[in-house]
């Protein structure tokens, strides 16, 4: 059972030991919360009371999608897709692999693909085409972060939280070598080190 006492002033933020060495905080948890609220408003204004099928791109989109979906109040279904393009210790893309949740039922439905970051655009372009091929009624893209300077595929997100230059970021779902997904802030790794 949870017992609630009178609210206390928040303690000063303690530095966490699990942040990468030499990293720079780009967006705090509070700034991310505000961005997700704004995106929630935009998504609600777009779909109204229409049913929405959210397809979360795992693993990076998981934290963002969990927060975004709780800002939405239309009838909702949830599916997942798996994408991986970074290999081992590299921060440059390897071979792209995407896999749709077996049995994902999107025919005739409005689909919102939710991912952590739009970089070259290859992942979301491939997933969008796969979902279109399943006869979805509409497919839109929501990304928390956009790195437009890196784009290869002709693709724009319909809903974007933040736009950044060409930095490698971790936290709030984004990993480096499967680490740091649990950081509440989004931080940039120092170029070539500090990991």
Residues identified as active-site: 119
What does the per-residue mask of binding to ligand 5GP show for 6-45, with x meaning CB under 6 A? Answer: ----------------------------------------
Q: Which of 111, 160, 113, 157 is nearest to 138 (CA)?
A: 111
Q: How far apart are CA 171 and CA 182, in angstroms?
A: 6
Q: How far apart are CA 4 and CA 104, in angstroms?
A: 41
* Stretch of residues binding Mg ion (CB under 5 A), selected from 13-21, 52-60, 135-143, 153-161: 52-60
Question: CA torsion, points 89, 167, 29, 37, in degrees to nearest 10?
Answer: -120
Q: How far apart are CA 195 and CA 185, in angstroms?
A: 16
* Stretch of residues binding ligand 5GP (CB under 6 A), selected from 13-21, 40-48, 74-82, 170-178: 170-178
Residue nearer to ligand 5GP on the CB measure, 111 or 127: 127
Residue 149 tokens, joined: 């300077």
187 near ligand 5GP, judged by CB under 6 A: no
- For Mg ion, the binding residue among 60, 121, 161, 173 (CB under 5 A) is 60
């Amino acid at each position: 059972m949870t017992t609630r006492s009178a609210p206390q002033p928040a303690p000063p933020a303690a530095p966490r030991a699990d942040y990468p060495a030499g990293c720079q905080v780009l967006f705090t948890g509070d700034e991310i919360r505000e961005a997700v609220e704004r995106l929630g408003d935009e998504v609600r204004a777009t779909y109204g009371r229409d049913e929405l099928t959210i397809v979360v791109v795992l693993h990076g989109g998981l934290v963002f999608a969990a927060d975004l979906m709780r800002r939405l109040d239309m009838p909702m279904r949830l599916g997942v897709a798996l994408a991986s393009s970074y290999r081992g210790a590299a921060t440059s893309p390897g071979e792209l692999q995407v896999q749709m949740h077996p049995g994902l039922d999107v025919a005739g439905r409005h689909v919102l693909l939710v991912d952590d970051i739009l970089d070259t655009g290859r992942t979301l372009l491939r997933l969008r085409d796969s979902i279109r091929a399943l006869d979805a009624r509409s497919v839109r893209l929501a990304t928390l972060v956009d790195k437009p300077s890196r784009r290869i595929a002709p693709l724009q997100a319909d809903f974007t939280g933040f736009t950044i230059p060409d930095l490698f970021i971790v936290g709030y779902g984004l990993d480096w070598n499967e680490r740091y997904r649990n950081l509440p802030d989004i931080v940039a790794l120092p170029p070539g080190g500090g990991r």
